[in-house]
Amino acid sequence: MYQHPKHTGIDVRHRATCSTKRGGERCTCSPIYQASVWFAREGKRRKKHFSKLAEAKAWRQDASAAIRAGTLAPPKRTTLDEAAAKWLEGIEAGTITSKSRRPFKPSTVRGYRRSLEQQILPAIGNRRLADLTRQDIQGLADKWLEDGLSASAIGNRLDPLRSIYRRAIKRGEVVVNPTASLDLEAAGTRKAIRIATPVEAHGLLAALPADDRALWATAFYAGLRRGELLALRWSDIDLARSEIRVSRSWDQKAGPIDPKSETSSRTVPLLAVLRDYLDQHKLATGRDGEDLAFGRTATEPPVPSTVRIRALKSWEAAGIESVVGLHDARHTFASTLIDAGTNPKAIQDYMGHSTIQMTFDRYGHLMPGRRDETRKQMDAYLESALSS
């Protein structure tokens, strides 16, 4: 391996078989560019290798600026295995939070640990955190794509690695995030939303076992998420004020947890049609106060898979082919709000979306005022304005 004699902070390293000489013959190999920066106070040098000269120059420029700003720490020999272990410990303890500054959900933590321990660390865990390159991560993604994983599944698998590097950059442990700007196959078209009409919803509920109707009705007519349904207590249902307060969710292993986000804590109007189902269910169970509204017992929630199986069997027995899931029932509630002319901002609040853009992205195609409707409204407005 031949090292270029110029001391510019970027060395060109050639393969041993390359014909390049100090005299300057044209390179016949694919050189590796080693960029480096010097920490004068600590007397240490940080190095990183790149396949492209432009990338090496960009890294060195960023690293030099970070040293001057005091945001880049001297090099450490921390491996990805070590960084991942500390990161997992932090998110499990709640000392490391999500981008929204909230603790990670227990189910998310379990998924992140599974991705790291089963897929990522066995492949690259022994590499130094600062040495991993975009090409390394791209290679992993390409392999998973060849194995048949979808683009969205690959993105989900890389999420914990992205979070580890975001944290490392903020702490000055690395300069470049190798998980950024990856060439991932575009995610497929989002699965079509299954929405039941009011008549279909009524028929689906009528075919269910009596014990399950109130739970499904709350999904259809209040739009609660599955975890929110499982955690709902009778004290959260204010029959006098015709309101349902959503203040927690349920994790199958961790039990009651905080809602998905700050906006997930919300108050939903209790519709008259839903009140009938809840009144009957409360009378049948004899529960109240802090008791779970839909639990197997007052303190144990139902098992979602069991609820789903019972529903499918009931609908099949009734000859109903167009079936839904609990999340489809939530979509149905959103559709009902839209059909009733509810203000989009109110829909955002009732659905517990963090932004109005999320509401439009998910349900905008259902809202009136698109294309032909907008054109007609604008034509009428302009005609009136110009003729006056």
Tell how far CA 382 is from the center of its chain. 43
User: pLDDT (tens digit, 9 = 90+) per residue, 228-271?
Assistant: 999 999 999 998 899 999 999 999 888 898 887 788 899 999 99
Average pLDDT, the chain: 85
Domains of the chain in start order, with CATH, are: 2-69 (no CATH), 80-170 (1.10.150), 198-366 (1.10.443.10)
User: pLDDT (tens digit, 9 = 90+) per residue, 105-159?
Assistant: 899 999 999 999 999 999 999 998 988 988 899 989 988 887 878 888 898 999 9
Higher pLDDT, 319 or 42: 319
Average pLDDT over residues 94-108: 88
Is the pLDDT at 193 greater than 70? The verdict is yes
pLDDT tier at 98 (50, 70, 90 boundaries)?
confident
3-state SS record for the chain = CEECCCCCCEEEEECCCCCCCCCCCCCCCCCEEEEEEEECCCCEEEEEEECCHHHHHHHHHHHHHHHHHCCCCCCCCCEHHHHHHHHHHHHHHCCCCCCCCCCCCHHHHHHHHHHHHHHHHHHHCCCECCCCCHHHHHHHHHHHHHCCCCHHHHHHHHHHHHHHHHHHHHCCCCCCCCCCCCCCCCCCCCCCCCCCCHHHHHHHHHCCCHHHHHHHHHHHHHCCCHHHHHHCEHHHEECCCCEEEECCEEECCCEEECCCCHHHCEEEECCHHHHHHHHHHHHHHCCCCCCECCCCCCCCCCCHHHHHHHHHHHHHHCCCCCCCCHHHHHHHHHHHHHHCCCCHHHHHHHHCCCCHHHHHHHHHHHCCCCCHHHHHHHHHHHHHHHHC
The pLDDT assigned to 374 comes to: 55
Q: What is the CA radius of gyration of the chain?
A: 29
The pLDDT assigned to 186 comes to: 60
Q: In whole angstroms, what is the distance from residue 345 CA to residue 81 CA?
A: 45
Residue in the structure block whose two tokens are 């699965």: 191
Is the pLDDT at 8 greater than 70? The verdict is no
pLDDT tier at 3 (50, 70, 90 boundaries)?
very low
State residue 52 phi and psi, 5-degree precision. Answer: -125, 140
Average pLDDT over residues 64-85: 82
> Taking a C-beta distance cutoff of 8 angstroms, is the pair 160, 116 a contact?
yes
Is the pLDDT at 39 greater than 90? The verdict is no
The pLDDT assigned to 24 comes to: 52
The pLDDT assigned to 126 comes to: 92
The pLDDT assigned to 169 comes to: 87
The pLDDT assigned to 388 comes to: 65
CA atoms in the 13 A half-sphere facing the CB of 49: 12
Taking CA 358 as the corner, what is the angle to CA 352 and CA 360, rounded to the nearest 5 degrees? 110
> Taking a C-beta distance cutoff of 8 angstroms, is the pair 14, 29 a contact?
yes
How many other C-beta atoms are found inside a 10 Å radius of the C-beta of residue 48? 22
Structure tokens that stand for 256 in this block: 């009651």
pLDDT tier at 4 (50, 70, 90 boundaries)?
very low
